[in-house]
Every structure is written in structure tokens, then in C-alpha cells.
Structure 1
Amino acid sequence: MIIVHFTPTYHPVIGGIESVVKSLATQMASLNHRVYVICLSRHTLVSDSAREITADGVSVLYFTHYDIFSPSRISRLSKVLRSADILHLHDPKLGLLVAIALTLLPKTKKYLTTHGGFYHHNRFPLIKKLYASTWARYALGKLNTVFAISEADFLAFSRLSPVPNVRLSLNVVRMNPFGVDPAVHPPGVRNWLYWGRTSSNKNLVSLLNFLMFLNNNDVHIVLHVCSSYPLQDLIAFAKQHGLTNVFFYHKPDNSHIASLINQSSVFVLPSSYEGFGLTLVEAASSGLLPIFNDISPLNTVFPSDVGLALDFSDFRSSLVAFLEYEMIVSSDQSTFVTDAIAASQVYSPKRRVEEILSVYLS
């Protein structure tokens, strides 16, 4: 099959959608499908010569809104689209507009993956209104299947979409991405690790405030924070408040992160909103116990007995819940680690790609 994935950006840009699309595209290419990725952004490009590349068997084409004025670029895009058996959209914010445009390709199967949609926070109010409109329902009606990556997405798009097959299809996540031994971790649950972005939704200042509260109650946590994004403000905050038990690493390489994973027992994700929480699953597949903010969809990523959901807006109740969790885990930590690893496996790329390809062929 000729499969075309639409995405805002692609590897090496770091992010949840980028990781998911790369996993899908490379897995499908390895199964001898002809795979294109069309990016509607050029964040990683430095010259026009890099606007079409091949990586891991996948043809990656970069476009911007300026390309609507370039006959050669429009011709190239049109040629790829008209050759496609499958068109798979990976950005709900663009999904409607692209779906309308793709009505010009009535014989091509079309799919949308929600990637957390935009129903877990108060952003994108205009897009939400558009999705509820008549023309949006018409656009969604041109899709063969909407893959909802979480229960929250499934409920939201089932209400919006006339597509008879809105399908709950769990996200694609890299398993043990840093290649660690999942059994090598210190005892206890007081060595914490975070890796990912430092954007406001990650709620890292609240996490640091929580650690200050724990320190004041004689509960001392060691936290390592890794990010390729700016850390200066967080470092200054920690220094100002005397948080000597928090360590920051800017752009650590994979071997350094692997070392920190083996020095840690918990991965913490305090986000105020998330589309899915991909790093939480990556961490669990590496043998880290997940501790996360008690919000949707994070509290639906794993069964309720895997990890610990805390209310990061209520430090006192979170302290009580953490101490109870610590006591329970101490009785049989290896079983908790094994359960976290097992729970993460339902998101493995191989399993998810097999499922998606079977839908393509149905």
C-alpha cells in the first residue's frame, strides 16, 4: 500500500505526536509499504534542499502555507496525494480543513488519529466550536475511521462525529526507549525522575512547590529533571527556595538519561493538562513506577492499581496518599514494577501498527 501520514512536524522535533507518527511510519515502511510523511511545518529545516528527505525508509516532505503560491510544490503534493491508498491525519486542529480538501480524492481511504484532541483543557475554543458545526460533521463524515487514543477522546468524538466507526485505539509508544535494564532501580519510591518539555502545562513549578512542602514535613525526595527545553527559570526557582535535592540536566544524551533511570524508582508527571501522557508509558516500560496528576486522560492511561494519581493542587492530601503508597510498595516493590511494565505493553508499536493496518485493509 501507499500510505501518507499528515502531521504538523516530524522527528527530530521532540514531542508526543512526532514520536507516535515516527513509530507508525517506520514500522509500516519495514513491512514493505510505501510510506510518506507530509509535514505542514518546517521547524527543523535550514535550507530548501532539505524539504524532501528519506529517513528509515520513509519519504518526508515539508510544506508551509507559502507553498500555496508555488506551482511546483502544489504539483508535488498533488502527485503524492493522488497516488495514495491511505491518508492518515495526525492533527485534529488541521483535520477538518484537510478532510474537506481530501473530498477531491473520493477513492482514497481517510483516517484521523485524535492524539488527545483538545478536550482535556480550555485551549482552542474556536476549534472546538468548529468541530460542533454542520460543515465539520460533513468533513468528519468523509473519514473512514477516527482512531481515538484515549477513553476521553473516544467519548468526545463519538458525540461529534457521524463516522460509524470511531474506534478506541490506544496510542503508540516506544517501549524502553533508552534501552535500560527495567529491573535495576533503587529500593523505595523517593528517587524521582522527569523528562520532557518544560512548557506551562507540565506544571513543574507546582511539582517544585510540592517538594518544598514534603521537605517541610520531613519527607525528602531526590528529583532529576531532564529537558531539551529551557531550564533557567526552574533552576532559578529551585535555587531561590533552597531546593538542594533537585538536579537539572539540559539536553542530556540517551546514555545519561539511561543512567538516571537506573538511579530512580519513580517517574513523575504533574501536568495540568495532557493529550495523552506518552512519557508516562515510556517510563513505565523502563521499570519506573508512575506518579502523576489525577486528571483526564492521565488517570485512564493505566489500570487504577498501577502507579499513583495525586492531586497536585492539594499538597496535604497528596502527602497522605504518597506515604500510604510508599508503605504498600515497600512490601513487594518488584511486583509493582512488573505490573507497570506489563501495563505499558498494550501501547507497544508492533501491536498498534498491526491493529491499524488491519483497519486499513478492512
Structure 2
Amino acid sequence: MQGENPHEDGVYSSAPLSPLIVHVVRQYAPSRGGLEDVVANLSANLQHHGYRVRVVTLDRLFRQPEKTLPKWEQVGSVGVVRIPWRGSSRYPIAPQVFRHIRDADLVHVHGVDFFFDALAWTRMLHGKPLVATTHGGFFHTKKYAALKRIWFSTATRLSATGYQSVICCSQSDLEMFQPIAAGRAVMIENGVDVAKFVDAASREPRRSIVTVGRFSSNKRLDHLLDSLSVLVQRDRQWHLDIVGAPSDWTETDIAENVKRRALDQHVSVHVGLENDQIRSLLARNSLFASASDYEGFGLVAVEAMSAGLLPVLHGNEAYLALQRRHADVQITDFSEPETAATAIEAAYRRLVEDPQKVRGAVMQAAATHGWADVTQRHIAVYSEALKASRP
């Protein structure tokens, strides 16, 4: 952990060098997802700027709750501490977090959950300056919508007062959190590792689509499969690669939905792939599609663009914001299969007309989301928070 050695009692010993930023996030490696990628990339880039970094996370993955992960592990250049939790994955309770922030100069909480509330409510006891990133809050699905609104307007509003900055990663998040964090809400869109899959997509136009992400209900894989059914009826060459990890949907759920639509020969499902495997898979695809009805930012769509994949996306708020910034992003309504299928065909025709130009345009657009500027903006937020916390 960059020269830090965790003792059995959870207290850390290290020389007082550069500021220590402790990121607190409910899930981290080996879990895979947009939130985990953001924390990993921000941590690595902060280290390049001389900061010391620690990640504190839960010791069991929500998708594998029976397996306990190591208490401490070096993941890349970042030290990761994992703590036990109980309760629901929607609100995991993990009070040992307080042990691992004792030597922090600043604590950065990712997401709006137990950590967001507990660290804010005990701020007078631990005395650490706090910064939070919203990552979409907890409105990813409409489930328990009324209860979520009540909690947001009461408990979340109270918690937000404990944070010196609330970083919103999209315009929709900013509009949501401004009323409860007036003067402290700032928008910093998530950075994207645009080098990871750069230029990986097929150089020859193919009737092949890829979608990447957790198999969660908000991703609306059912709508994507309905749209593929229409495409296949029009042209049997269409194929879809589904890449991700089980969540609300399992591999079995996807297989049943594929079989029900007689798409067995047109869909391949890939679970738990490493980045190099995903990169190889992208080489046989030309289009990226997402029928998701909620996204905090749209990180995976930007990663797909960096590969040279032309994106066709459902018109949720995050994707609409992305389209306003980049004209090559195609927006459609995946709840209407015929409409979505026609949009995908139109995107393919654009690609056929000038593959090199279209691929180059989407890759250039993705490059504007790189981590260099995003990290500098986080450092500015940290500097203000650290300055305000000094006597």
C-alpha cells in the first residue's frame, strides 16, 4: 500500500508524506463495472500527481455473497482494504470503515449509501474533510421510487450537509443534488480510460453489435433483444455480443430470453471477460448498443466510442447529454423495437458509406473524455476541502 502496512487492529503506520486520499466505495475489484473503473482510474492518476491513495470497500461481492475476499490486497498500484458488512446490498452496513480513515487527510465517498450517510453523520467525531461523488444516486431503477424520494429529501439532504463538495458526474445528477447541496454541488463528468480499447473495433463494417455492462434490470436487455429480433427478420446476418456480469439478470435469464425469441444463432453471451479479451471481442463488431433506461454518465458508451464503435443508445438523460456533446451518437427509443432496429440499420449504413471517417470521428470524440483534465479538477476540489478544514 505504497509503503503502508496495515496492523491487525486496522491502524496504519506511515511517514507523513503527501496527502492521503481514502476512497470509500461499496464494490471494487475483482468486481467489474463503471463505478469500480472510475475509482481505479482516479486513484492511479492521483498517484501520478504524488498523492497517497487507499481504497476501502466491502469484503464480499453482491453477486457472490458467499465468498469472502482478502482483507488487504494490492490491486495495481493501489492498496485495497476490505471490510465486513451486513444487511442488504442496497444499503450495506459496514461500521469498520471508521478504522481505515483514521490517518486520512481527506475521505472521498463514492455513491449514496450507508457510507455516504454514516461518514457525514459522524463527521464531528472523526474530523475528516469529506468529498462525495454521486454516481447517479440511488435512482437507477424505478423500484421503491416513492420511498427513495422520501429518503432523498430527508436523510440524504441531511447527509449532504456534511460534505464540503458533492461532485455530480452528469447534468442530471447536478440538477438532482443542487437543491440539497446548494453551493457545494459541482459537476465533474467521469473520466474514461480511452486507451483501454482504443481503435479495437472492426475496420470493416459488420452487422455485428456489442453491448457491455452488468446484467441489471435498468440495462433493459429485453428491449435490446426485441430490437435484434426485428433486425434478424430483416437480415439474418445480424449478431449481438452481450458482455458483462450477472446482476438482476443471470446467464440463465438471458439464455431463456434469447431462446424465447429464437435468437440462439444470433446472440453470444460473455461473462467475466478481462479487458484484453473484451478488446479481442470488439474486433468483430462495428456497432455499440445500449437500451438502458438509466445511466449515471454513460462511461461504457464512451469506451465503446474510443474503440471506434458507432453507438446507438436509448434516450435516457445521460445518453441525451452525450449526444448533445457528440453528434455521431445515435439516439433512439429501444422500447419501440421497430424504431430501434431502423436506427441501428441507419447507423450501419453511415458506417458503410465511409468507415474510416466515422470510426475516426467517434474515437476523436471519445478522446475528449480522458482522465488528465478530470483528475486536475478533482485535485482542485480536494485542495479547497483540505484548505477549508485547516484551523
> Which TM-score bucket, shorter chain as reference?
0.7 to 0.9
Cα distance in 1, alignment partners of residues 211 and 285 from structure 2: 10
Q: What does the per-residue CA deviation read over 1:144-169, in whole Å, with 9 as the maximum and x for residues that have no partner?
A: 1111001100111012223x131110
* CA spacing shift, 1:333–1:143, aligned 2, 3 Å: same
Cα distance in 2, alignment partners of residues 40 and 49 from structure 1: 9
Q: What does the per-residue CA deviation read over 1:28-81, in whole Å, with 9 as the maximum and x for residues that have no partner?
A: 233332211111453379988921233333232222246xxxxxx97x854542
In structure 1, stretches of 5+ residues that fail to align are: 67-72
Q: Is 1:12 aligned with 2:30?
A: yes
1:213 paired residue among 230, 234, 238: 230
1:193 paired residue among 193, 204, 210: 210
| Residue identity matched to 1:128 | R
Q: Which residue of 2 aligns with 1:90?
A: 110
The percent of aligned pairs where both chains have the same amino acid is 26
Look up the SS of the partner of 1:238 in the other structure. Answer: helix
Q: What does the per-residue CA deviation read over 1:144-201, in whole Å, with 9 as the maximum and x for residues that have no partner?
A: 1111001100111012223x131110012222424x534752225x221122222222
TM-superposed CA distance for 1:361, in Å, is: 1.3
Cα distance in 2, alignment partners of residues 127 and 308 from structure 1: 31
Q: Which residue of 2 aligns with 1:337?
A: 359
| Residue identity matched to 1:335 | K
TM-superposed CA distance for 1:104, in Å, is: 2.3
Q: Which residue of 1 aligns with 2:54?
A: 36
Q: Which residue of 2 aligns with 1:69?
A: none
Q: Which residue of 2 aligns with 1:170?
A: 189
TM-superposed CA distance for 1:120, in Å, is: 5.1
TM-superposed CA distance for 1:6, in Å, is: 0.9
1:114 paired residue among 134, 138, 159: 134
Look up the SS of the partner of 1:132 in the other structure. Answer: helix
Q: What does the per-residue CA deviation read over 1:208-255, in whole Å, with 9 as the maximum and x for residues that have no partner?
A: 221111222347422122234342332343334332222233434444
Q: Is 1:274 aligned with 2:274?
A: no
Question: Normalising to structure 1: TM-score of the pair?
Answer: 0.86
8 Å contact from structure 1 (residues 111, 146) kept in 2: yes
8 Å contact from structure 2 (residues 59, 70) kept in 1: no
Q: Which residue of 2 aligns with 1:70?
A: none
Look up the SS of the partner of 1:225 in the other structure. Answer: strand
Q: Is 1:159 aligned with 2:176?
A: no
8 Å contact from structure 1 (residues 114, 146) kept in 2: yes
Q: Which residue of 1 aligns with 2:9?
A: none
Q: Is 1:245 aligned with 2:266?
A: yes
8 Å contact from structure 2 (residues 203, 355) kept in 1: no
Q: Which residue of 1 aligns with 2:314?
A: 293
1:26 paired residue among 24, 33, 44: 44
Q: Which residue of 1 aligns with 2:11?
A: none
Q: Which residue of 1 aligns with 2:161?
A: 141
| Residue identity matched to 2:174 | F
**RMSD over aligned Cα atoms:** 2.8
Question: Normalising to structure 2: TM-score of the pair?
Answer: 0.80
* CA spacing shift, 1:317–1:26, aligned 2, 3 Å: same
Q: Which has the higher helix share?
A: 1
1:233 paired residue among 253, 256, 276: 253
Q: Is 1:103 aligned with 2:121?
A: no
Q: Is 1:313 aligned with 2:335?
A: yes
